[in-house]
Chains A and B, each alone.
Chain A
Amino acid sequence: MHQTCRIKQIIRETPKAVTLIINGKINYKPGQFIMLWLLGIDEKPFVISYLEANKFGVTIEEKGIFTKEISKIKKGTKVGIRGPYGNGFEIKNNSIIVAGGLGMAPALSLIKKIKNSTIIQGAKSKKYLLYLKNKDLLKIIEKNNNKIIYCTDDGSFGIRGFVTNVLKEIITKQIKTVYTCGPEIMLRKVFDICEKNKIECQASLERFCKCGIGICGSCAINDQLVCKDGPVFDSKQLRKLTELGKFARLKSGKKVKIEEYYNYRSK
């Protein structure tokens, strides 16, 4: 059953994303997810972006049902939380994190645990780069001897171009793991680059999730359940996922091309 918490703060991150800071304790491993229930709206899976002793944050993209409803959420609102669920990342230093768009949210808690690594963060343009003004993040990156490379499609900040192009340039045999979170077509490309370079990949996947506890099957990709077997899959598992970057299931369970799935999700 859901534990009840209250929204402590709402942070406007980008024109399309907000972070809800929620009061409460959670025993969380980067890469896992929680089911967040906004009463009367919906219950959906979210990774935790900000994590402190007595509060945590989830970063929500304003799309679908949330586009209309997010403005109604006020400080002090009660929410329901289940979880955390899923496996989480296996932490390895000397790695690369490739995060596209909202994929920076799962990367955020990982960055705090990892050392001597490079983060490649990409977005459409400067205003869509998550956590750009977050000074704590830059301090942590420095403290852990990490570095961050920004990419934008329009060149309004950092390198002009795609995160995958940067990955191709900086990937070396010394890299322990490439972590990746973001749109699945990007994940597919990142995984292919890793395979070509014989470097392990850990990808955080997303599917339409209902139960979160491995029984309803709505989040299936091939014979794997994103909620229970994932959401993080390593190279060995990714090789078997022939549906990766190609097919996903709608809320009805209908299997469709990934492009159709993304259109459906953004409505």
Chain B
Amino acid sequence: MLKSSFSYKSEVDSKMENEGSRKPTSRFSLDTNFCEIELQNPLVLASGVLGVSVDLLKRVVANGAGAVTTKSIGPVEREGHNNPTVVEIENGLYNAVGLPTPGYLNMDEEFKRWSEIKVPLIASIYGSSIEDYVEITEYIQKYKPAIIELNISCPNKEDGMVFGTSPNLTKELITAVKASSSIPIMPKLTPNCDNIAEIAIVCEGAGADAICAINTVQKEILHPKLKVPLLAYGKGGISGPIIKKIALEKVKEIRDAVEIPILGIGGITHGKDAVEMLKAGANLIGIGSGVYFRGMDVFKKVCNEIEQIMKKEGIKSINEI
């Protein structure tokens, strides 16, 4: 595995420390380590939210994220679905954006600027074939992302979930990408399968360095009055607090099945949710819809709330949870 030398402080944290507005972190440390990459806190911007450009990712870092994930990068330019693609529902968001991407060959200008991001950057990628994943992995490696996330679980593309629901295809994919990657790889798993633990075991066996779970929970919701699908695509995935319970269950199932680290995602909006996610077995915590529910500074807010909980429970380091 690549020995990484990431050890960054976000601009905001250094600024806050200089201004003395944040209590010294020596007593309560949020520092953590994931695939031998150091992070100043365990909160990660989840893929699909805001990650279209380096400028936006930098703003998320300034708002306290410990690491950031790009929007999933695909093999060729793709527009995604027509609107409505994202709709607010009670306690959650419902989306079928459909993996829009400029295509990796149109993105050099963005890739070249990845080095400006002062926290570990997770490059999320997707493809329609194993060759797609391998080609994109080989291409983006030179821009040195900290981790490559393999989105094998998007429910909103015609063929997106085939990999993530099939143990055989997943094994073949991970083996091929691992052989071509000098950077840690992390498949993102779907809860919309028979046995997520089985898929996780296959990933670990094929050489995955970490697991990311969960992607959105697939649903077909109709508008109660208009009696038509709420999203133009007809179906979509739900995220936000409404799926927290499912996410915690799935992460626990994965934790019981594999040794490799887990980036736990699903409905985390507050410090107490983040602590629950860590207790379920996650090593890092992803936040996506939380940006909608609490604003872009959700990362700063959740960090502060985790510190409060640690203080109350007498926990000195996040790694003790």
> A-facing mask of B93-118, CB < 8 A → 1, else 0?
10101001111001001100000000
Q: Tell whether, in the assembled complex, residue A217 and residue B83 are in contact, meaning their CB atoms are under 8 Å apart.
A: no
**CB nearest to B58 among chain A residues:** A223
Query: Known contacts A1-B230, A217-B51; is A42 also within 8 Å of B83 by CB?
Result: yes
Q: Which B69-103 residues sit within 8 Å CB-CB of chain A?
A: 71, 77-80, 82-89, 93, 95, 97, 100-103
Q: Mark A1-36, 1 if CB is under 8 A from B, else 0.
A: 110100000000000000000000000000000010
Which residue from chain B places its CB closest to the CB of A65 in the assembled complex? B82
B102's partner among A4, A213, A216, A252 (CB-CB below 8 A) is A252
Check A253 against B223 for contact (C-beta < 8 Å). Answer: no
Contact B53 A80 (CB under 8 A): no
CA distance A131 to B172 in the complex (A): 62
Report the interface size for chain A: residues with CB under 8 A from the other chain.
33
Closest to B77 in A: A252
A-B contact count (CB 8 A): 112
* Contact assessment for A222 and B55 in the assembled complex, using a CB-CB cutoff below 8 Å: yes
- In whole Å, how far is B173's beta carbon from the nearest beta carbon of chain A? 24
**Binary contact readout B46-59 vs A (1 if CB under 8 angstroms, 0 otherwise):** 00111111011011
What chain A residues lie within 8 Å of B97 (beta carbons)?
Answer: 210, 216
Q: Is B12 an interface residue (CB 8 A)?
A: no
Q: Is the CB of B79 within 8 A of A252?
A: yes
Q: Does A135 contact B (CB under 8 A)?
A: no
Q: What is the CB-to-nearest-CB distance from B227 to chain A, in angstroms, rounded to a whole number?
A: 10
Least CB distance, A265 to chain B, in whole angstroms: 13
CB of B179 closer than 8 Å to a CB of A:
no
A214 within 8 Å of B (CB atoms) = yes
Question: Does B242 count as interface, using CB distance less than 8 angstroms?
Answer: no
Alpha-carbon separation in the docked complex, A211 to B82 (Å): 11
**Of residues 193 to 240 in A, which have CB atoms within 8 Å of B's CB atoms?**
210-218, 220, 222-223, 225
User: Once bound together, how far apart are the Cα atoms of A252 and B72, in whole Å?
Assistant: 12
How many residues of chain B have a CB within 8 Å of chain A? 45
Q: Is the CB of B223 within 8 A of A1?
A: yes
How far is the CB of B199 from the nearest CB of chain A, in Å? 27
Task: For residue A240, give the distance in angstroms from its CB to the closest CB of chain B.
Answer: 10
Q: Which residue of A lies closest to B85 (CB)?
A: A210
- Asked whether A255 is an interface residue with its Cβ less than 8 Å from the other chain, the reply is yes
Query: Is A255's CB under 8 angstroms from B109's CB?
Result: yes
Cα distance A42–B84 in the bound complex, in angstroms = 7
Inter-chain CA distance A218–B86, complex, in Å, is 12
Task: Say which residue of A2, A40, A218, A255 sits within 8 Å of B223 (CB atoms).
Answer: A2
In the complex, chain B residues whose CB is within 8 Å of the CB of A40: 228
Query: Could you tell me the distance in whole angstroms from the C-beta of A145 to the nearest C-beta in chain B?
Result: 40
Q: Please report the C-alpha to C-alpha distance between residue A214 and residue B59 in the assembled complex, in whole angstroms.
A: 13
Smallest CB-CB separation from B89: which chain A residue? A1
Are the C-beta atoms of B100 and A251 separated by less than 8 Å? yes
Contacts of A249 in B (CB 8 A): 52
Question: Which of B95, B102, B224, B226 is in CB contact (< 8 Å) with A78?
Answer: B226
Residues of A within 8 A of B291 (CB): 214-215
A82 and B79 in contact, given A217-B56, A223-B58, A255-B102 (Cβ under 8 angstroms) = no
Known A-B contacts A4-B226, A82-B88, A254-B102; the reply to A220 vs B82 at CB < 8 A is no
Chain B: which residue is nearest A219 at the CB level? B52
Indicate which residue in A78, A217, A222 contacts B50 across the interface (CB closer than 8 Å): A217
A61 contacts B by Cβ under 8 Å: no
B73 to chain A: closest residue by CB = A253
Residue in A35, A210, A253 whose CB lies within 8 Å of B101:
A253
Q: Is the CB of A252 within 8 A of B226?
A: no
Q: In the complex the two chains form, is B83's CB within 8 Å of A216's CB? A: no
CB < 8 Å neighbour of A80 from B50, B93, B226 = B226
Determine whether A132 belongs to the interface, using a CB cutoff of 8 Å to chain B. no
B223:A220 contact, CB within 8 angstroms: no
Tell me which residues across on chain B come within 8 A of A80, comparing CB atoms: 84, 223, 226
Does A112 interact with chain B (Cβ within 8 Å)?
Answer: no
Decide: A218 and B93 in contact? CB cutoff 8 A: no
B53 touches A252 (CB 8 A): no
Task: Say yes or no for A157: interface residue by CB 8 A criterion.
Answer: no
Contact between A42 and B93, CB atoms less than 8 A apart: no
Interface flags, B10-53, vs A, CB<8A=1, else 0 = 00000000000000000000000000000000000000111111
With A1-B224, A42-B232, A215-B49 known, 20 other A-B pairs at CB within 8 A are A40-B228, A43-B232, A80-B84, A82-B88, A214-B296, A215-B50, A215-B291, A217-B49, A217-B56, A217-B71, A218-B100, A220-B56, A223-B53, A223-B56, A249-B52, A250-B79, A251-B79, A252-B77, A252-B100, A254-B102
Interface residues of B (CB under 8 A from A): 48-53, 55-56, 58-59, 71, 77-80, 82-89, 93, 95, 97, 100-103, 106, 109-110, 223-226, 228, 230, 232, 288-289, 291-292, 296
Task: Using CB atoms and an 8 Å cutoff, list the residues of chain A in contact with chain B.
Answer: 1-2, 4, 35, 37, 39-40, 42-44, 78, 80, 82, 210-218, 220, 222-223, 225, 249-255
A-B contact pairs, 25 of them (CB 8 A): A1-B87, A1-B224, A2-B84, A4-B225, A4-B226, A37-B84, A43-B83, A43-B84, A43-B232, A80-B226, A210-B97, A211-B86, A211-B95, A213-B86, A213-B88, A214-B291, A214-B292, A215-B93, A216-B48, A217-B71, A218-B52, A220-B53, A223-B59, A252-B77, A253-B71
